[in-house]
Amino acid sequence: MRYASHHNFVGTPINGYVQNVCILTKAAATALSSAQKEFMSMSPAYTLKLYDCYRPTMAVHHFKSWAADVNDSLMMLEFYPDMNKSDIIPLGYILEKSGHSRGSTIDVTLVQYPPSPEEEYHPGNVLKPCYSSISERFGDNSIDMGTGFDCFDSRAHTDNTLITQQQRKNRQLLHDVLQRYGFYNYPLEWWHFSLQDEPYVDTYFNFLVSCNATMTVTTPALSDVGFV
């Protein structure tokens, strides 16, 4: 989970991410497992890699506070090199409420299996624009989707026409298989998918991202939580 680390657009671990674990509703986890089996049966085989799953509302508030601080541009050169920070919320990259907080939304990419090593990020590393060529941007070992994760740029829009034919094919592969198992895409972000028939359409949870989540929070909805 990128938001449990320093390698995200804020540059620090995000409020609520106690452990590096993906939490989803059982419905979303089951559908995702089916998609994973199909990707692994392909030749070449692929495996899904999740950047983010359930996101507590406290994390969304952290994002909004960060966006309001126009003096903080720590991670600008990688995640929003061509954008004024004040435009991030108006353009829809950070919303008032996040579907992630309902537990059936994922940020996801594809990695060819078996996976190659991933570049290790350390605070203070030289930042590379997220829309650079795959050989130049951060090496997160995914197949080439045209941009990195959380790239606040029009080239990250799912149907952007500036990317190459192969990059479009890679996005389409991810989209087609996930759609088959009930997920739909957010058009501003090629990596963002939500379960069409999600169980908690009006509930935004705020428990910690932790392996102990089901034991430390008492709510009927948590009987439907699964770990990936």
With a cut of 50, say whether residue 228 has pLDDT above it.
no
- 3-state SS, one letter per residue, for the chain: CHHHCCCCCCCCCCCCECCCCCEEEHHHHHHHHHHHHHHHCCCCCEEEEEEECCCCHHHHHHHHHHHHCCCCCCCHHHHCCCCCHHHCCCCCCCCCCCHHHHCCEEEEEEEECCCCCCCCCCCCCCCCCCCCCCCCCCCCCCCCCCCCCCCCCHHHCCCCCCCCHHHHHHHHHHHHHHHHCCEEECCCCCCEEEECCCCCCCCCCCCCECCCHHHHCCCHHHHHEEEC
Q: Is the pTM of this model over 0.95?
A: no
Confidence of residue 191 (pLDDT cuts 50, 70, 90): very high
Asked whether 75 and 16 are in contact (CB, 8 A), the reply is no
With a cut of 70, say whether residue 226 has pLDDT above it.
no
The C-alpha atoms of residue 79 and residue 130 are separated, in whole angstroms, by 6
Q: Which residues contact 43 (CB under 8 A, 6 or more apart)?
A: none
What percentage of the chain reaches a pLDDT higher than 70? 93
The number of domains in the chain is: 1
- Give the range of the structural domain holding residue 93, as residue numbers without chain letter: 2-227
With a cut of 80, say whether residue 225 has pLDDT above it.
no
Q: Which residues form the catalytic set?
A: 189
Mean pLDDT of 148-170: 97
Find the CATH number of the domain harbouring 144. Answer: 3.30.1380.10
Confidence of residue 217 (pLDDT cuts 50, 70, 90): very low
pLDDT in tens, 91-134: 888 988 999 999 999 999 999 999 999 999 999 999 999 999 99
Note the pLDDT of residue 123. Answer: 96
More confident residue, 219 or 209: 209
Mean pLDDT of 22-50: 98
Asked whether 109 and 145 are in contact (CB, 8 A), the reply is yes
Confidence of residue 214 (pLDDT cuts 50, 70, 90): low
Mean pLDDT of 7-23: 97
